[in-house]
Structure 1
Amino acid sequence: MESEHHNLKTAPSLSLGRFHISEEYGFLLPNPLMPLLNCQFLRDYPEQRLAHLVLSLITMGYIWQEGETKLDEVLPRNLALPLTEVSRSVGLPPILVHSDLVLANWTMKDPERPLEMSNLDIIVSFPGGESLRGFVLVTVLVEKAAVPGIKALVQAVNAILKPNQDFLLQSLQQLRLCIKDMTRTLGQMHDYVDPDIFYAVIRIFLSGWRDNPALPRGVIYEGVSKEPQTYSGGSAAQSTVLHAFDEFLGIHHSKESADFLYRMRDYMPLSHKAFVEEIRLAPSLRGHILSSGVDQLLRAYNQCIEALVELRNYHINIVAKYLITASAKAKIRTSGQLPEPPQALEERGTGGTAVLRFLKSVRDKTLEAILHHSG
Structure 2
Amino acid sequence: MSPHAISSPREEAVTEAGYLKKFAITDNGFLPSEAPLKCLSHPYYAPWERVIHNLPSLLESQKFHDQVRQLPVLSTTKLTSEAEWRRAYVILTFLNHGWVWGGDKAHEILPPAISIPLLSVSDHLELPPVTTYAGLNLWNFSSPITNFTDLDRLEVLHTFTGTRDEAWFYLVSVAMEAEGAQIVSSMLSALSVITSRDYDTVTGSLESLTGSIRKIGTLLERMYEKCDPMVFFYKIRPFLAGSKNMAAAGLPKGVFYDEGDGKGEWQQLRGGNNGQSSLIQFIDIVLGVEHISHGDSTPDTATRREKETQNKEPSTFHQQVREYMPGPHRRFLEHVARMGSIRELALVPPKTPEQERLRDAYQAATRTLTEFRNKHLQIVTRYIILPSKRGNNTETKTSQGHGDKVDLASVSKSTKDTTELTGTGGTALMPFLKQTRDETIQAGDLTKRT
**Shorter-chain TM-score range:** 0.7 to 0.9
Contact in 2 for aligned 1:128/1:202 (Cα 8 Å): no
Identity value in percent: 30
**C-alpha displacement at 1:348, in angstroms?**
1.7
Other-structure match for 1:338: 397
Please, which of 251, 255, 269 is the counterpart of residue 326 of structure 2? 269
Q: Structure 2: any 5+ residue segments left out of the alignment?
A: 1-68, 296-314, 400-407, 414-420
Corresponding residue to 1:35 among 68, 72, 79: 72
Worse-superposed segment, 214-223 or 302-311: 214-223
Q: Which moved more, 1:262-271 or 1:245-254?
A: 245-254
Q: Identify the residue that residue 289 of structure 1 maps to in structure 2.
A: 346
How far is 1:211 from its partner?
A: 1.1
What corresponds to 2:192 in structure 1?
A: 158
DSSP 3-state at the match of 1:227: strand
In structure 1, the gaps of 5 or more residues are 1-31
**Are the structure 2 counterparts of residues 50 and 112 from structure 1 closer, same or farther at C-alpha, using a change threshold of 3 Å?**
closer
Cα distance in structure 1, aligned partners of 2:198 and 2:442: 27
- Taking the aligned partners of 1:112 and 1:52, their CA distance within structure 2 comes to 23
Greater CA radius of gyration, 1 or 2? Answer: 1
- How far apart are the structure 2 equivalents of 1:47 and 1:126? 21
Answer yes or no: is 1:217 the counterpart of 2:253. yes
How far off is 1:161 after superposition? 4.5
Q: Could you tell me whether the CA contact under 8 Å between 1:99 and 1:269 is conserved in 2?
A: yes
Counterpart of 1:199, as a letter, is F
Closer/same/farther in 2, CA of residues 373 and 210 from structure 1, 3 Å limit = closer
For 1:151, the aligned partner's letter is: S
Residues 163 and 172 from structure 1, CA distance in 2 versus in 1: closer, same or farther, beyond 3 angstroms? same
Separation in 2, partners of 1:269, 1:89: 10
Paired AA for residue 270 in structure 2: S
Contact preservation (8 Å) 1:172, 1:301? yes
Partner residue, 2:388: 327
| Contact 1:309 1:363 (8 Å CA) reproduced | yes
**Residue identity matched to 2:107:** D
Provide the residue aligned with 1:306 in structure 2: 367
Kindly provide the amino acid, as one letter, of the partner of residue 382 in structure 2. Answer: K
Amino acid corresponding to residue 280 of structure 2 in structure 1: L
After superposition, what is the alpha-carbon deviation per residue over 1:255-313, rounded to whole angstroms, capped at 9, x for unaligned? 42462121110000011111111121113322222337211000000001000000000
Specify the alignment match of 2:423 in structure 1. Answer: 349
Measured in 2, the distance between the counterparts of 1:245 and 1:44 equals 30
What is the CA distance between 1:240 and its match in structure 2? 0.5
1:235 aligns with 2:273: yes
What CA distance in whole angstroms lies between the structure 2 residues aligned with 1:129 and 1:364? 35
Post-superposition Cα deviations, 1:127-163, rounded to whole Å, max 9, x if no partner, equal 1510001101111111112112222211111122544
Where does residue 186 of structure 1 map in the other structure? Answer: 220
**How far is 1:191 from its partner?**
0.2
Q: Which deviations, in whole Å up to 9, do the C-alpha atoms of 1:87-117 show, x marking residues without a partner?
A: 0011000011000100001111x22777423
Deviation at 1:241, TM superposition (A): 1.1
Distance 2:147 2:155 in 1: 13
For 2:203 and 2:117, locate their aligned partners in 1 and report how far apart those are by CA, in whole Å: 48
- TM-score, normalised to structure 2, is 0.71
What is the count of residue pairs matched by the alignment? 338
Give the Cα separation in 1 of the matches to 2:440 and 2:153: 35
**Given the alignment of the two structures, is residue 50 of structure 1 paired with residue 84 of structure 2, yes or no?**
no
Matched to 1:100, the amino acid is G
SS at match of 1:367: helix
- Runs of 4 or more, structure 1, over 4 Å off, are 112-115
